[in-house]
Structure 1
Amino acid sequence: MPDPQTAPSSAPLATPSLEELQHWTGVIGRAQQMLLDYATEQAGRGAAAPALAQAGEALFARWAPAAAPHFDSARLAETQQRFWQGATHLWEALLDPAVATLPARPDDPAAWRAHPGFALIEQAHGLLAGALADQVEALEGLDAKQKDQLRFATEALREALAPTNFVATNPQALARMIETKGESLLAGLDHMLADLRRGQLTHSPGVFELGRDIAATPGAVIYETPLFQLIHYAPATARVGAAPLLIFPPWINRFYILDLGPKKSFVRWAVAEGLSVFLVSWKSADADLAETRLDDYVAAQLDALRVVRAALAAERVHLVGYCVAGTVLATTLALLAARDEAAQVASATFFTAQVDFSQAGELSLFVDDAMLQLIGALGEPGYLDGRYMAATFNLLRGRDLIWSHVVNSYLLGEEGRPFDLLHWNGDVTNLPARWHLDYLRDFYRDNLLVRPGALTVLGVPIDLGRVTTPAYVQAGRQDHIAPAESVWKLTEHFAGPLRFVLAGSGHIAGVVNPPEAQKYQYWTVDEPATDFADFLARARETKGSWWPDWRAWIAQQDGETVPATGARVPGAGPFPAIEPAPGRYVRMR
């Protein structure tokens, strides 16, 4: 049986038998029928192009420079010389391997190096991609953002045109096709058509059940509005902290990123650590939420805070905001400070949240006037289909989240492996279109939140400098959505005591890192740092999860405990249980 990691043999091919010809004719016929069935379905539905395709088309169409660029002639000449030198070397290696050999890159699959033809294809792709990137650098007459957009688009194009993404130029896919007599390609075609029908990539099979495998921490929904449900989790210890914990997850995805399987769940761990935990489950937007704006999300956070305090007769509450919910939490804290009501909050924790978007990273490349116009068009029903946001986030990590899936699922025909985090990643939510436009324009593009009085929420001008609530700020060192340097800036705008923690990994794994896993590390400093560079220079590394560090910090803010009885049991207080956790909203599409 051929090894799929090696290239197909270069020995002469035997003449196929009649039986083999009939088999491959059948494979081709089945493939044609699958494509015809799909085309017929789409014609009958009048379906629009899938979200991923539309987003990809818009990515390149809207980044045309406003001013006519021109090349730096000297740099262009250098890039052309390097290109022709590389091309000459490739031809020498092809015509006479004794004269020159093709260089092997460390990340080349073994199959590329094993066969000179495939090696030439891979090296030619690298040469052309490098030449294109060089020419981008030789362009002048572009502003800094246009240059970065062009670099991003060029890299995305390089990844898309990699030879590994096509059957004819992927030796592993060819070997698998021969080994399986075409069944791998039929399976891959079936996977591709299934993804096209869904309008998004399927990274993990749907084997996870809400309330059983994920979002399974015991609790009950005790309050709901048209925008959110409030979940109260059952205590797991005899005594719990007097000040409860209220978590605001992002509404761009489902809340259960913080309540995955039992060994990964931050919620379950916090409950086991003796905290009374409440969590907001946001409703996926529909036409009824078309008018939802920033004021509504701030009002929702205030409403949830009110209910938690009333449910437990608690004076103060610990708050957590993750990503965009952390951005809004900062706004809520500023509003409470302006109203002289900040004493309701014992502490505020921010998971990879930004308030100052001046260094917001690659995601800011997707925010310009053309993009805002595109989102306005896509959000005409009053909400933005969550698949568009999923496509955008996938583009930020194209190799990992798009093209590896294309190769493994479509070309090799492999079934995706069950993985709760990837399942969550594909469980998208819709966003209120007006709110999303406000967020991109007012926060990402215009950076209004850090300008005192530039934003007015619920009739009150917002000034982050008035926030004195103790804050724990966590960032991910490899975060590509909320870069650590950007998250750090929150510490420059609040006026209260702060603890900044830099966690290993990125936007998700940097947060969801239970102590039991013994993965990654985190960095802290004992004395306040003057800036992010100073923090990095003096930071002390600690192996493992930062969660215990956070728990100790919470105890410092409020170490008092009370019996886990009465209203501390979900539904036993003034707010009766509506339904068991995880509730209805997390199941709505």
Structure 2
Amino acid sequence: MAEQQGQGDGEDVKLPDPVELSQTMQRIAEQSQKLVGDFMERQELTHPNATFDPTHIASAFYEVTTRMMSDPAKLVQAQMNLWQDYMRLWQTTASRMLGAEESEPVAEPEKGDRRFKDPAWHDNQVFDFIKQSYLLTARWMQSTVHDVEGVDEHTAKKVDFYTRQFVDALAPSNFVMTNPQVLRTTLETGGENLLKGLEHLLEDMERGKISQTDFDAFEVGRNLAVTPGKVIYQNDLMQLIQYSPTTEQVYKTPLMIMPPWINKFYILDLREKNSFVKWAVDQGFTVFMISWVNPDEKLAQKSFEDYMTEGPLTALDVIEQVTGEKQVNAIGYCLGGTLLSCTLSYLAQTKQKNRVKAATFFTTMVDFSEAGELEVFIDEEQLSSLEEMMASKGYLEGNSMNQTFNLLRANDLIWSFVINNYLLGKEPFPFDLLYWNSDSTRMPAAMHSFYLRRMYQENKLLEPGGIELKGVPIDLGKIDHPTFALATKEDHIAPWKSGYALTRAISGPVKFVLAASGHIAGVVNPPAANKYNYWLNSRNPKDPDSWFQNAKKVDGSWWPEWHKWMEQKGGKEKVEAREPGGGVLTPIEDAPGSYVKVKAKA
């Protein structure tokens, strides 16, 4: 067996013996052919739209290439810089192979890049050279397209984004022969990992998505979304859950939670140890949760206005009916928060603003001018194609939005699983959050088109009267409720500075809190976990960077901070604990209800 000795303390990496590798690959090819053949027999292979370009990126790259070629001197300089970097890399690698003292690497992975965590990527000269040459080429490609002048901002962002997708896909960690961990495993198992990986690949192709977790390890209602409660009301768009109390007394003002309908509500009720719902009930809140339906073609014409009417407005009436309380404290998460902002404006302008005492927003955008990398999917060509696609079925397929969000963090949510599941042949690890992430929901065509066009494309929500719901022009400036606005620092879906815009958009007092981590982990951060931190600032200057520079860092979960604020703004008065339905409505079924269990097809 040929060996390449690594330097340093890392494990020696065996490079393949050509004869042994050839035999292994021949065996894999034979068995793979049979597996693929069996799979193909079970599929209907129809590709009428094979030449369709759904992302419309070809024209964007053509424009950038044209601009690039119009300045050949700059292109030559970029090539020379890359060549010089390669020469430096070759010199340092050659010196290292000759036993010279290690010098500073020419290229290093960014902090947190887990693709190159195996010690061999540093300790073995061959793999270190592969790693650094990839990083040099990747950064050259990204900087070259980024620095092209004369390209409009949207096209530049689109090209930057898809160049990164291309670069990430070509990482040496994604291939058998250039990933030391996969190579070791292949030789140790005689290629069984690749055969097992192919089986996983074919299973995922039938499922229509990469397996990010063990889907058999979880079940909604069995070990996820198990906080006791009852569904006390339902209509076409939602079920309303009232959770059973765990304290003898509860806060007088009920708490209504409005989750996004892009995903399912149980992100806030995963398991007991990380359930915001369970924690809130234990603090003495009477918690009501809106559980949105997973819509099909029958609900194709349901609009954003319908979601407001049949969602929070109806829930307010039901909550008053069962508790006798006209006021609630309301929470809106992500798209649910965007709807909450519209609802508060509508209530204020229809002389009903007292229906809500205090409002809380989790990772909510009201200013879509800086929507992060989601902007690359929003232009007329892509929206028209999306609307054409939705028109045929009446809804957006559940997996489409999920795939879009996965692309925003491709190395973590796509390529890490390609390596684990397909190259190493391992079973995916059971992880509740990733199970939820894969539990896709569909979007009604009318609602989704309105949301993408009027908010993302046109940014009309921030414009007074820019959108109209139930005949009322929505003006966020009419909102003067005490407001708690939570954003997360690493949010790739609702960038925190877009969330900070809420401090300027509404007229009421806003307590803005910035939590560490991202769109999900920064929100679902129970105190017992003792993880992350958050930032506070008693002032809300116009510039979000100024807010952050003068903010105080606090260790741990922000949940107790919210509870303290809620007692101040939402009321401390308590009453006897309330049972679901309040003796007024007969519960329909146990929580989490049936709507949340409806699965979207791939």
Pairwise mapping of residues 189-588 of structure 1 onto structure 2 (< 5 A)?
Answer: 189-206=198-215, 207-299=217-309, 300-379=311-390, 380-557=392-569, 558-564=571-577, 568-588=578-598
| Equivalent in the alignment of 2:122 | 113
In the alignment, is the contact (CA less than 8 A) between 1:248 and 1:325 conserved in 2?
A: yes
Percent identity reads 42
Residues 62 and 576 (structure 1 numbering): CA distance in 2 closer, same or farther, change over 3 Å?
A: farther
Residues 73 and 222 (structure 1 numbering): CA distance in 2 closer, same or farther, change over 3 Å?
A: same
Does 2:147 match 1:149? Answer: no
In the alignment, is the contact (CA less than 8 A) between 1:386 and 1:429 conserved in 2?
A: yes
In the alignment, is the contact (CA less than 8 A) between 1:348 and 1:471 conserved in 2?
A: yes
Q: Deviations over 1:205-224 (max 9, x none)?
A: 01112122110000000000
Residues 88 and 104 (structure 1 numbering): CA distance in 2 closer, same or farther, change over 3 Å?
A: closer
In the alignment, is the contact (CA less than 8 A) between 2:366 and 2:462 conserved in 1?
A: yes
Counterpart AA for 1:152? F
Provide the rounded CA distance (Å) in 2 between the counterparts of 1:56 and 1:156.
16
Q: Deviations over 1:52-110 (max 9, x none)?
A: x9999636446446685245455333312111212334555677744997746356432
CA shift at 1:137, angstroms? 3.1
Q: Deviations over 1:346-380 (max 9, x none)?
A: 11110000111112111112111122022113312
Q: Deviations over 1:197-252 (max 9, x none)?
A: 11111111011121221100000000001111000000010000111001011111
Provide the rounded CA distance (Å) in 2 between the counterparts of 1:216 and 1:47.
42
In the alignment, is the contact (CA less than 8 A) between 1:59 and 1:153 conserved in 2?
A: no
| Equivalent in the alignment of 1:9 | 14
Q: Deviations over 1:553-581 (max 9, x none)?
A: 111121111001xxx20134221100000
Q: 1:178 aligns with which of 163, 187, 193?
A: 187
Tell me how large the CA RMSD over aligned residues is: 2.7
| Equivalent in the alignment of 2:41 | 40
Provide the rounded CA distance (Å) in 2 between the counterparts of 1:62 and 1:78.
25
In the alignment, is the contact (CA less than 8 A) between 1:245 and 1:277 conserved in 2?
A: yes
In the alignment, is the contact (CA less than 8 A) between 1:24 and 1:181 conserved in 2?
A: no
What SS does the corresponding residue of 1:450 show, helix, strand or coil?
coil
Does 2:143 match 1:134? Answer: yes
Provide the rounded CA distance (Å) in 1 between the counterparts of 2:51 and 2:492.
23
Does 2:172 match 1:160? Answer: no
| Equivalent in the alignment of 1:124 | 133
What SS does the corresponding residue of 2:486 show, helix, strand or coil?
strand
Unaligned regions of 5+ residues in structure 2, if any? none
Provide the rounded CA distance (Å) in 1 between the counterparts of 2:479 and 2:435.
37
CA shift at 1:194, angstroms? 1.4
Provide the rounded CA distance (Å) in 2 between the counterparts of 1:56 and 1:283.
31
CA shift at 1:127, angstroms? 2.6
Does 2:55 match 1:58? Answer: yes
Provide the rounded CA distance (Å) in 1 between the counterparts of 2:233 and 2:163.
49
CA shift at 1:526, angstroms? 2.5
Provide the rounded CA distance (Å) in 2 between the counterparts of 1:157 and 1:136.
13
Provide the rounded CA distance (Å) in 2 between the counterparts of 1:468 and 1:230.
27
Provide the rounded CA distance (Å) in 1 between the counterparts of 2:301 and 2:269.
30
Of 483-492 and 132-141, more deviation after overlay is shown by 132-141
Q: Deviations over 1:242-281 (max 9, x none)?
A: 1100101111111100001101000000000000000011
Provide the rounded CA distance (Å) in 2 between the counterparts of 1:479 and 1:428.
20
What SS does the corresponding residue of 1:449 show, helix, strand or coil?
coil
Counterpart AA for 2:149? E
In the alignment, is the contact (CA less than 8 A) between 2:396 and 2:445 conserved in 1?
A: yes
Provide the rounded CA distance (Å) in 2 between the counterparts of 1:152 and 1:247.
34
CA shift at 1:131, angstroms? 2.3
In the alignment, is the contact (CA less than 8 A) between 1:242 and 1:561 conserved in 2?
A: yes
Provide the rounded CA distance (Å) in 1 between the counterparts of 2:397 and 2:58.
20
Unaligned regions of 5+ residues in structure 1, if any? none
Q: Deviations over 1:469-511 (max 9, x none)?
A: 1111000011111111000001111111211111111100111
Counterpart AA for 2:43? Q
In the alignment, is the contact (CA less than 8 A) between 1:72 and 1:138 conserved in 2?
A: no
CA shift at 1:6, angstroms? 4.8
CA shift at 1:172, angstroms? 1.5
Does 2:67 match 1:69? Answer: yes
In the alignment, is the contact (CA less than 8 A) between 2:421 and 2:427 conserved in 1?
A: yes
Q: Deviations over 1:498-527 (max 9, x none)?
A: 111111111001110111111111111224
Counterpart AA for 2:35? M
Of 542-551 and 72-81, more deviation after overlay is shown by 72-81
CA shift at 1:298, angstroms? 1.1
Q: Deviations over 1:431-465 (max 9, x none)?
A: 11221121111101100011111211011111111
In the alignment, is the contact (CA less than 8 A) between 1:165 and 1:403 conserved in 2?
A: yes
In the alignment, is the contact (CA less than 8 A) between 1:476 and 1:507 conserved in 2?
A: yes
Residues 123 and 494 (structure 1 numbering): CA distance in 2 closer, same or farther, change over 3 Å?
A: same
Provide the rounded CA distance (Å) in 2 between the counterparts of 1:258 and 1:488.
22
Instruction: State the TM-score, normalized to the length of structure 2.
Output: 0.90
Provide the rounded CA distance (Å) in 2 between the counterparts of 1:579 and 1:508.
28
Residues 33 and 6 (structure 1 numbering): CA distance in 2 closer, same or farther, change over 3 Å?
A: farther
CA shift at 1:151, angstroms? 1.3
CA shift at 1:111, angstroms? 2.1
CA shift at 1:166, angstroms? 1.2
Provide the rounded CA distance (Å) in 2 between the counterparts of 1:327 and 1:488.
13
| Equivalent in the alignment of 2:78 | 79
Counterpart AA for 1:58? T
In the alignment, is the contact (CA less than 8 A) between 1:65 and 1:146 conserved in 2?
A: no
Of 111-120 and 316-325, more deviation after overlay is shown by 111-120
Of 230-239 and 193-202, more deviation after overlay is shown by 193-202
CA shift at 1:177, angstroms? 0.8
Of 347-356 and 533-542, more deviation after overlay is shown by 533-542
Provide the rounded CA distance (Å) in 1 between the counterparts of 2:251 and 2:399.
39
Residues 60 and 162 (structure 1 numbering): CA distance in 2 closer, same or farther, change over 3 Å?
A: farther
What SS does the corresponding residue of 1:142 show, helix, strand or coil?
coil
Provide the rounded CA distance (Å) in 2 between the counterparts of 1:119 and 1:573.
69
Of 523-532 and 233-242, more deviation after overlay is shown by 523-532
Provide the rounded CA distance (Å) in 1 between the counterparts of 2:197 and 2:54.
24
CA shift at 1:24, angstroms? 6.4
